[in-house]
Amino acid sequence: MICSQCGSDVAAGSAACPNCGAQQPGFGTQGAQASGFGDRGAPAPPPPPGPAPAPAPQFNFDAKRWTRNDRIVGGATLLLLISLFLPWFSASDLFVSVSVNGLWHGWEYITLIVALAILVYLLLCAGFQELPFKLPFSHDQLLLAGTGINFLLVLLGFLIRPAAGFGWTFGAFIGLIAAVVAVVPLGLPFMRARTGRS
């Protein structure tokens, strides 16, 4: 290192030049930073603490978080989901018997997706005291919308048979009954409230 005053060689880390005694630039700051002490020998203050991060919500399944309506909607929706894979329509003659399930109607895949979404949502409601995300609608509004869509699609699928000669089988009746049971707990109070307002 070269002295800034006289140009003499100065050993690295020296506070002053041995030839002219000039204070070497940067030594005080670097030394204080390296040692962790300020100008008066006191420890450098720690960085100011930021806000403590909020603990991540923990999933802890508790079926007691479900209301009576949640249990009815969940059970009926699960049954509806199963019914989509059962025979809904069948036709037979002397030699051939043909049956199709509820997904024969392409729009019933929407029912499948909505039913899965309802079941996942109810599972999250039972697993978290408070959901880790915000929803634009209330709990009952979400369930009513989902079960209402499923009811309309299932009713449409029940009424429209694949072709002449096809009759209903047990899967179609199970699906329709499950869709009705799922929508009634929230649909009836909603209809009564709407009727009372008008």
DSSP string for 139-174: HHHHHHHHHHHHHHHHHHHHHS-SSTT-EE-HHHHH
How far does Cα 59 stand from its chain's mean position? 12
For residue 135, the model assigns a pLDDT of 87
For residue 48, the model assigns a pLDDT of 65
Residues 83, 115: Cα–Cα separation, whole Å: 11
pTM: 0.69
For residue 18, the model assigns a pLDDT of 76
- Give buried/exposed letters for 142-178 (b at 16+ CB in 10 A, else e): bbbebbbbbbebbeebbeebeeeebeebebbebbbeb
Between CA 162 and CA 170, with CA 165 as vertex, the angle to 5 degrees is 70
pLDDT per residue, tens digit, the chain (198 aa), is 677 777 777 777 777 777 777 777 765 444 444 444 444 455 666 666 767 666 677 888 899 999 999 999 999 999 999 999 999 999 988 788 999 999 999 999 999 999 999 999 999 999 998 888 888 899 999 999 999 999 999 999 999 999 888 999 999 999 999 999 999 999 988 888 888 765
Between CA 36 and CA 47, with CA 42 as vertex, the angle to 5 degrees is 55
- CA-nearest of 52, 48, 30, 49 to 39 is 30
Residue pair 72/122 in contact (Cβ under 8 Å)? The answer is: no
For residue 7, the model assigns a pLDDT of 73
